[in-house]
Amino acid sequence: MSTSKPIMRLILLCWVAFVFTTNAQPTSLKLTKPESVSMSGDSLKRMDNHFHRLVDAKQLAGIQTAVMRNGQLIHFDSYGYANIEAKKLLDEKSIFRIFSMTKPIVSVALMQLYEKGKFKLEDPIHKYLPEFKNMRVYRDSAMFVAQKPIRVIDLLRHTSGFSYGRSRYPELNRRYAAANLRAAKTNREYIQKLSKLPLQFEPNTDWQYGLSTNICGYLVEVLSGLSLDDYLQQHIFTLLGMKDTHFQLPKNKIERFTVGYGWRASSGLRIVETQSDNRYVRKVTLFNGGGGLVSTTLDYLKFCQMILNKGTFNGKRILNKTTVELMLRDHLQGVRRVQARLRLPAGEAGFGLGFVIKGASANQLEKVYGWGGAVGTYFRIDTQNKLIYILMIQLSPYRQLGLQRLMQNYVNAAMIK
């Protein structure tokens, strides 16, 4: 009698057990049953299975997702690795680069100072940052003096004229590259370099995602007298209990930091930034308001819940209700949108003060808003359905996987009512 089939079955069972134990990480978090808040646990499980297959196929190192409804954590899933080479699994303590998910936090910080009367939204920023007076605009291969000043509201809604230096104008892109903004050691030095660059268009005439929130971060420093790091720690993170959100990783948290991965169809996953040798573990002196933070899924859930609660969390008020409502209105009504590489989807989104908005309308609060980060991190807050959902990966590029749309579809399908 042949023993090859039983042996093959045993090998297969061992392989399945290996995949499960190396990729799946049970959570110690207390979860509320999805059905108790009118969500389908089976639908959320289908989402998990879909995402797990991508990890098993080595298209992702790991993925973490979380869903809250009515203030209850109903779903938290970690699958795959924070560090493939060290065989370190993702878990709820894993710390991620959140890049542009820094922007909503810095926008909240600036609006706290708005509440204190430190500025008006219509104020020209050169009132506080004189470097930005007499700006120039690049147009038709020539430079012109800007006819309009950049206002604070233009920074918050990305109508300032600043881009990321990846516009349709090669000469403008060359000037951004030559400015070598990344070499700046402080926010002040960064702003001095940035203010010498021409704008892509007249302020308040177009929309272009770019470096505006970096300027917001420096404005927080100037208006508060604190570094952006100290301001966020004192006025947001400590109040919300966001203990693992930093510009610079403390030494005792480096082992929790995720490795950054790249992916190519020809070669698969590869390391692009290690756990222990990166900008977050070195001494940070430039606190990048547009993308410098690292955080955990649980920390960012607290920030989102504060926004959903109209400015409060666990009895602590971060912003007034009217200020949150102001931030969540579409402020792009009537503003033409430039057709560039980084743009809002035409006809299906607006922009508030720090948040992208789905289903934009000028005269009512919007229903779903959020933003994402450069290596695939993503959050959405659904005010109508009292929902928050977050996805964390560390992959560049990431858009080929369509994870954000997939999560949105799965979460929406899971709603029973």
Q: Report the pLDDT averaged over residues 343-363.
A: 72
pLDDT at 37: 98
Residue 329 has pLDDT above 70, yes or no: yes
Query: Quick one: pLDDT band at residue 338, thresholds 50, 70, 90?
Result: low
Q: Report the pLDDT averaged over residues 295-321.
A: 98
Query: Quick one: pLDDT band at residue 316, thresholds 50, 70, 90?
Result: very high
Q: Catalogue all structural domains in the chain, each as residue range(s) with its CATH number.
A: 32-97+239-357+366-414 (3.40.710.10), 107-224 (no CATH)
Share of the chain above pLDDT 70, in %: 88
Rounded to 5 degrees, φ, ψ at 3 are -105, 5
pLDDT at 367: 82
Residue 392 has pLDDT above 60, yes or no: yes
Query: Quick one: pLDDT band at residue 21, thresholds 50, 70, 90?
Result: very low
Q: Report the pLDDT averaged over residues 253-281.
A: 96
Residue 356, amino acid: V
Provide the token pair at 385.
């359905």
Q: Report the pLDDT averaged over residues 190-199.
A: 98
Cβ 161 vs Cβ 135: under 8 Å: yes
Cβ 88 vs Cβ 94: under 8 Å: no
The pairing of strands 260-264 and 395-396 is: parallel
Query: Quick one: pLDDT band at residue 275, thresholds 50, 70, 90?
Result: very high
Residue 129 has pLDDT above 70, yes or no: yes
Whole-number average pLDDT of the chain: 91
Upper half-sphere CA count for residue 118 (Cβ side, 13 Å):
18
Comparing 251 with 336, which gets the higher pLDDT? 251
Q: pTM score, two decimals?
A: 0.92
Q: How far is it, in rounded angstroms, from Cα 67 to Cα 314? A: 19
pLDDT digits (tens, 9 = 90+) for 71-110: 999 999 999 999 999 999 999 999 999 999 999 999 999 9
Residue 234 has pLDDT above 60, yes or no: yes
Residue 44 has pLDDT above 80, yes or no: yes
CA quadruple 206, 208, 210, 214: dihedral positive or negative?
Answer: positive
Write down the residue that tokens 């948290």 correspond to.
253
Rounded (5°) CA angle 62-66-68: 180
Residue 285 has pLDDT above 70, yes or no: yes
pLDDT at 350: 85
Q: How far is CA 256 from CA 96, 246, 252, in A?
A: 9, 13, 9
Residue 2 has pLDDT above 50, yes or no: no
pLDDT at 358: 82
pLDDT at 365: 55
Residue 10 has pLDDT above 50, yes or no: no
